[in-house]
Structure 1
């Protein structure tokens, strides 16, 4: 409180006292006790009112003790069970929770990780993948401004994500790995990785690459074989030694029959091999007798063409050919979809031939497009343009129902370039992406699809798609979301299949360590997407005949179900609509592959390195008491006393207002009691 405020308070006290004396001490008609009572009450009332007008401020200090944080990250993957460490982990967590000294010094938080990172609920050790780098990165973000040494309880075997050893280099807090398992090296042969195409064309050969690894001492001989059913389709003798511990085999297999072809790759085990599960890997290839051929016609060279080609050919079923308009006319009949990039008058012959052949088209326009020509050569859409250019962004239409599409973050993508003017579509259509300028809707379509007399077309009014693909990678470290969006567009446009009221999308086979999802769309009789119905899928195991029924959940403009709970095997399925006779059937196969069963021991060396890089220390699970003592004795982790100063104005002090009310009430009551009012 300043000296000036104190002076005001003193003056207020003197003034209040003077007024009270003047009112009840000088020429007062009251005598004795009443005079002193009224004078005291009036002094208190006046002084309290003047204090409120002065409104002095008081400071108060509060002190708190802040403990350092101790996040405990627990590996909840199936490899913990495979290494026989699940009971030790449960016992370790109980020990940490019951350690009073540790809980007195630290604010302990528990998290589990597998594919995802989350606060601990219960430990099941059933996660099919391990993402240690994601767990460390998330912890770093949670505690980036705090003292937070981290206990990492894991076997160190990662199956998903970036290399956690390098993720640890940016970690500001020390990491203390608690190593599950041992460092003993067992003699082991392993099919470490197998790469092949998902699709192959009939009567062609498809490539297979396999990486074989040996752990042990001395030299060993084995044989690698690939079986289809009981028939051996490939075999090769292999020799390993301590200095030559890996082999890479490249070979081809014939695609001689249409449909899903399943294979088993096996590296024959040697004597006394402890883990033979990792000697076998199943894989499959879908053999098709027809590919989707996409012809891209463009007069100019543009980065969009490369981005589109890469996105379309991500699916091996599709091929892309890029030609100039003069070269494309004779090739139109060999392709299912014609993509016309920024047409001008040189495209006249192409448009004429497309009209004769009734080919589906995908028109992409931009700054080099001749709209006068385009308006005159077709009657599906028109645009009155000027010489001005415009930057336009995209917003997804949530009611788009032609095919299932997810929002991949369109609003966050860089703007596209187009010529200024409103795009008018003159035939029945659906808008997939609306156009926005500076964040405001322009009431013009950016991307729309049409279907007239069985012919499907699309118009995309904007160039710069390569920026979208690049931004998609920056946001998710993968081109997958953008490529899948383009793939769905191409799949819809390249097909002339009659539209059904119930559309189901599924793969022919899945690996059980990856998401197993089936999506569906249901349309009413006017082919408008209907979000009010209930859909369910019935899956029947072909071998055991067991039936499983799951509901499909509504997700934006489609329904989806996750079937990861199904065991490996071949299944037939039926998607049906409740209270309707509409249904669709199909089949899929779940291939067994448990990546968590591929490990024999803990990755001790990598866990030691991440501990060293972050100034922590690694301990085996049997030495966890040493880890606890190290944390308790480390001077870097001290409790911090924090003070907080609060400045409270007197006007916020409710008791003073209560005092004013009380004194005035007492004065009125005394006067009333004595018959003075």
Structure 2
């Protein structure tokens, strides 16, 4: 209180005493009655003046602050199905009625299903989904960054939302899981996933990747078998242990006959295993016959012809015949899948007329000796105005080439090819450029290698002396594999006249209600290799034709995947389209009524323990209330805090002073009335 207020209070006291003295004692007898009136009037005037001065009174208040203890009780159907509803309620009621806990904590009770609900909700033990992670997050938000305890009273079975095991509380909140339900666990082995390419080539081997999981703590041996038409074609003994729970098994299977082949991967059962449904997984592979005959037509011998023949025939399914134009026989071309036309000139007139009507692919290899004026007349989608002069060109890869995924060479280390001087033009709508030309260190937009987008397939290699690439590849790697693969991919694309599906959609015919609906697709390039660079969209409609969702598929594990989310029970159709192609698929599926809460028969002990470990906490069980209570009572980190707060209150807020003023004035009036002074 400052000096100014003290002076004002002193002045108020002097005024009250002086005024009362003048009214009651000055020139009056000094009787008891006058002294009484003096006192009452002085008191009432002093109070009135003090209220006008209105000094502020400062004082300290002490109070006890208790931490919050929030009970999160699982109100999902699984608790009732496990016949643990009374257990949850009893444990909850024991916490709420514990005098010791109430003395230490401010106890708040909530229930939860898919999200947090109030404890007086009518949906107790009737929630059809459980999201523990979301409920923990919402409850901690109610703490408002203050210290406290979250008691999770649940069986730990969650069927929607993010995995609650990895939920990490703030440093001020302790999470105490209380496990409700049977915590018995059984050993289990499972085939988690199988990765395999949808296509394989006849008489080749194709890889299969099998992901295996084991739940248990003992050392166990099982056997993985892959069967085709009931016959075991691959088997391997598998050893699991507590430290070796996940394995990836790679198998190579032989493609012995063409067509769609169905396979079954199967794990033998463990002695005490209860769940056998995840021990078996089916998959399919389409075997393609890539055997083909290739004919090379040339005006005469050239080192390129031998290099091409050796590279193409490195695949045992392909046979190459070299024909020189003077010896060409038109009667032997009906079963040819690809013609390689080397340095075309006017002598090819009859040959080109003979093969133009065939479905076979064509690869034109040009060089300084090519008669471009003659070749331009066929209007094949490419042309060139050349002069009789040689020019060296180097290869530059086109990163935007998407017709297929070729095996690339180290182009920067390759020697140049020879072309006829002049600019080559190709129709961009008909051809995709795989390699561009680099001339004297300058990259150009002239194609060195281009492939047609439509069938019958046409390829254009505008430079000769490719035998030099084969020699350079061997010099670098001490083998011809890279060069052979490069030529093999090109030949496979140009000679692929058989029609196989490039866009394949896979999904179960039926989904369960509240299940994540996943539709996957495999998209292959023209060489039937998986293409991860496409844009694939899906549109889903209900039974009334209303569009319920449009989205794009994302690449995951060698597949395009659309995760639709939860749909209401009913029938649905979809349309799937690969952008910038005419590839599309239509299909249908249905969603069945399903109660996810009925699927678990035991408590999820491992997840609840992991949650506790992740938060440096302790797990309790349904029959350990006394242990749980003692833990909280003995934990000094959760003691109530005694706080002191300084409060400043203006005197005018003391409303009872008004009653004292009124009382003093009233008492003075009655006394004067009684004495006949009024």
- TM class, shorter-chain normalised? 0.3 to 0.5
TM-score if structure 2 supplies the norm length? 0.44
Structure number, greater radius of gyration: 2
